[in-house]
Amino acid sequence: MNVRCATIIAGGASRRMGRDKALLSIKGQPLIAHIAEVLRQIFPDLVVVTSNATIADAAHAHAISDIYPGKGPLAGIHVALKHWEQPTFCVACDMPYLNADYIRHLCAQLEDFDAVIPCSGDYAEPLHAVYTPVCLPVIESTLQQERVGPVSSIYKQLKVRFIEGEQARQFDPALRMFENWNTPEEVKMSLTTVENL
C-alpha cells in the first residue's frame, strides 16, 4: 500500500461535549486508544496532533502540535504532512466505528491524486481522508489568511479523487464509520444503537 502513515487529529476544544472527546470511553478504553488500535492494523506509523500529553499517552503515540494554532482541523492536516513528508491518512479523534478494510480501500485509490476524500451522502468527509505533501502550498496559503474556512475550501485548488458513498456502503451499509461524537446526547444515542444491533 502506498500510504504508510496515519495521523489522529485531536486538537479541537470539544466545547459541545464539555470534555475531551478523545478520552471518552468505548469498549472499556479511551476512544483515541480504540481508534489507534484500528489504525495500527493498517499503518506502521502513527502520530496524534494534540498539545495534551494525556491524549497522546492514551493512544500510545507520539504527539505533534499545530504550527498554526487556533486555525482548526486544516492546521492538523498541515502539521501531519509537514511531519511525515509523505501521503498520510488523517482522521478525527471522535469517530468510534472506523472500518479498517474501507480505509485500506481508500488508500488504494490515491494513485496520482493530491488527496482522496470519501463522501457520505452529499457531504465530503475531510477528516477521514488521505492527503499528500503536494497539498501543503495550498494549505499554508489558506492558513495564513485571517479567517480559515472549512477543510473543503481547499479542494478546488487540488487534484482530488472523491469516493462516492455507495462504495463505502459495500463495507458498512449504514455508514456508521463516518459517525462522530460531538455531544453527550450523541454518545448516549450511539451506544444505545450499538447495543440494540
What are 49-78's pLDDT values in tens digits? 999 999 999 999 999 999 999 999 999 999
**Is residue 114's pLDDT more than 80?**
yes
Q: Which long-range contacts (CB under 8 A, 24 or more apart) does 26-29 make?
A: 26/96, 26/191
CATH number for the 5-196 domain, one of 3.40.50.9100, 3.40.50.300, 3.90.550.10, 3.40.30.10? Answer: 3.90.550.10
* Residues 148 and 126: beta-carbon distance below 8 Å: no
What mean pLDDT do residues 35-59 have? 95
Q: Where are the domains of the chain?
A: 5-196
Question: What does the pLDDT look like over 5-34, one tens digit per residue?
Answer: 999 999 655 555 545 678 888 888 899 999
Torsion (CA) 68, 74, 77, 82 in degrees, nearest 10: -40
Q: Which of 188, 149, 14, 4 is nearest to 94 (CA)?
A: 14
Query: What's the DSSP call for residue 52?
Result: -
How much is the pTM?
0.90
Are 163 and 112 in contact, with CB atoms under 8 Å apart?
Answer: no
